[in-house]
Amino acid sequence: MTWTPQNLPADHPSVASGKIGVLVVNLGTPTAPDAPSVKRYLAEFLSDPRVIEIPALVWQPILRGIILNTRPKKSAHAYQQVWTDEGSPLAAITAQQACGLQQRLGDGVMVDWAMRYGAPSIPDQLDKLMQAGCERILLAPLYPQYCAATTATVVDKAGDWLREKRWQPSLRTLPPYHDDPTYIAALAQDLGAQLDALAFQPEVLLLSFHGMPARTLELGDPYHCHCMKTARLLEAALARPALRMVTTFQSRFGRAKWLEPATDVVLEAEAKKGTRRIAIAAPGFSADCLETLEELAIRGREQFTEAGGEQFAALSCLNAGDAGMAMLEALMRRELAGWL
């Protein structure tokens, strides 16, 4: 006798289909470049205890009383300068990366994308994959360097979703790939080509990573070490002895001490000590976003030239280009091995 499930919701995955899903995840971004949208996004992002490690009783009054009343207007202005017809660059590029991976991995795998804060959310996208029959899902935070404020919070969010499920899919996570030879080679190939295409020869290449409170290093977060290792391996792979490389940390937030040296401080100091031609790359960002397109490419240029620098180039992230996509495909295939 065949057993037939009774009274089940229409979307109940009663028949196992054994499909494989991949969910690529990046940080999150507002839905529009205006102050109310930025406020909603920042409220969610900056209320994450993985991001702001201050007790909520102390932090929430500061966030609600000061930051969310001042920062959204300023940040919305910054977003307006980089917004595209496809929306926020971070969301648009992450969607392109998911689409490229879908083509590369083929029909045996369903690829989708999510934002840790804002939309499309991780729970909604995991539900979508599960309803499409995915019983095994690779969760892929696109952060090469592990950080509790980025990688761990993506896994936390997926964990919260799993906790609600009676029938859980099997979940794997993409490990950090800061020292993976495939990642380093992709960066060296892509940045090397961009450097060769410049109309000038930079004296210095800044490798700018997103900053973190310095305290997180003392607390055991491997982020700083991962960034330094990426920078060391990338310098060796680029093999340009005439190009001086300097590692810096950008996007300082709040009053606490952050990882140093700070990108803006170094840009100004380099110009003041006589560097006239500089290029800047952001190897820790898998997609161009506010922090690379506005903070580095627009404000960084101003900081350098106002201090006496003459030629400035902000290099693109790997985005959905061939070198980056081939690297992501290789990383995903490695994690999917045994499932495919």
Ligand X SMILES: C=CC1=C(C)c2cc3[nH]c(cc4nc(cc5[nH]c(cc1n2)c(C)c5CCC(=O)O)C(CCC(=O)O)=C4C)c(C)c3C=C
Q: Which does 285 bind (CB under 5 to 8 A by kind): ligand X, Fe ion, none?
A: ligand X
In sequence order, the β-bridge partners of residue 258 are 213
Contacting ligand X (CB under 6 A), which of 25, 27, 137, 187?
27
d(CA 20, CA 17): 9
Asked if residue 212 binds ligand X (CB under 6 A), the reply is yes
Residue whose CB is less far from Fe ion, 45 or 161: 45
**Residue 265: how many CB atoms within 10 A of its CB?**
14
Q: How far is the CB of 322 from ligand X (least distance, A)?
A: 22
Asked if residue 295 binds Fe ion (CB under 5 A), the reply is yes
Among the listed residues 221, 196, 186, 226, the one whose alpha carbon sits nearest the alpha carbon of residue 209: 226
In sequence order, the β-bridge partners of residue 111 are 22
Asked if residue 22 binds ligand X (CB under 6 A), the reply is no
Asked if residue 115 binds ligand X (CB under 6 A), the reply is no
Contacting ligand X (CB under 6 A), which of 22, 174, 289, 313?
289
Asked if residue 151 binds ligand X (CB under 6 A), the reply is no
Contact yes or no for 328/295 (Cβ under 8 A): no
Asked if residue 77 binds ligand X (CB under 6 A), the reply is no
Contacting ligand X (CB under 6 A), which of 100, 283, 284, 300?
284
Asked if residue 249 binds ligand X (CB under 6 A), the reply is no
Residue whose CB is less far from ligand X, 120 or 133: 120
**Residue 141: how many CB atoms within 10 A of its CB?**
28
Specify the amino acid at residue 73.
K
Asked if residue 88 binds Fe ion (CB under 5 A), the reply is no
Question: If you search the block for the tokens 């180039």, which residue do you land on?
Answer: 313
DSSP for 155-212, please give it.
HHHHHHHHHT-SSPPEEEEPPP-TT-HHHHHHHHHHHHHHHHTSSS--SEEEEEEE--
d(CA 258, CA 268): 18
Residue whose CB is less far from ligand X, 32 or 237: 32
Contact yes or no for 153/122 (Cβ under 8 A): no
Q: Could you tell me which stretch among 163-171, 281-289, 299-307, 309-317 binds ligand X (CB under 6 A)?
A: 281-289
291 among the known binding-site residues? Answer: yes
Residue whose CB is less far from ligand X, 21 or 118: 118
Q: How far is the CB of 266 from ligand X (least distance, A)?
A: 18
Q: What dihedral do alpha carbons 330, 336, 338, 340 form, nearest 10°?
A: -90
Name the token pair of 245.
């490389």
Residue whose CB is less far from ligand X, 68 or 195: 68
Q: 222 preceded by cis ω (within 30°)?
A: no
Residues binding ligand X: what is the number (CB under 6 A)? 21
Contacting ligand X (CB under 6 A), which of 150, 247, 250, 319?
150
Asked if residue 317 binds ligand X (CB under 6 A), the reply is no
Residue whose CB is less far from Fe ion, 270 or 291: 291
At a CB cut-off of 8 Å and minimum separation 6, what does 184 contact? Answer: 230, 233, 234, 237
Residue whose CB is less far from ligand X, 166 or 255: 255
- Alpha-carbon distances, residue 279 vs 40, 198, 275, 315 (angstroms): 34, 9, 11, 7
Contacting ligand X (CB under 6 A), which of 22, 24, 68, 88?
88
Residues 250-289 interacting with Fe ion (rule: CB under 5 A) = 251
**Residues annotated within a binding site for Fe(2+):** 210, 291
Name the site residues for Fe ion (rule: CB under 5 A): 251, 291, 295
Give the binding site for ligand X (CB under 6 A). Answer: 27, 29, 51, 71, 75, 88, 90, 143, 147, 149-150, 210, 212-213, 251, 253, 284-285, 289-291
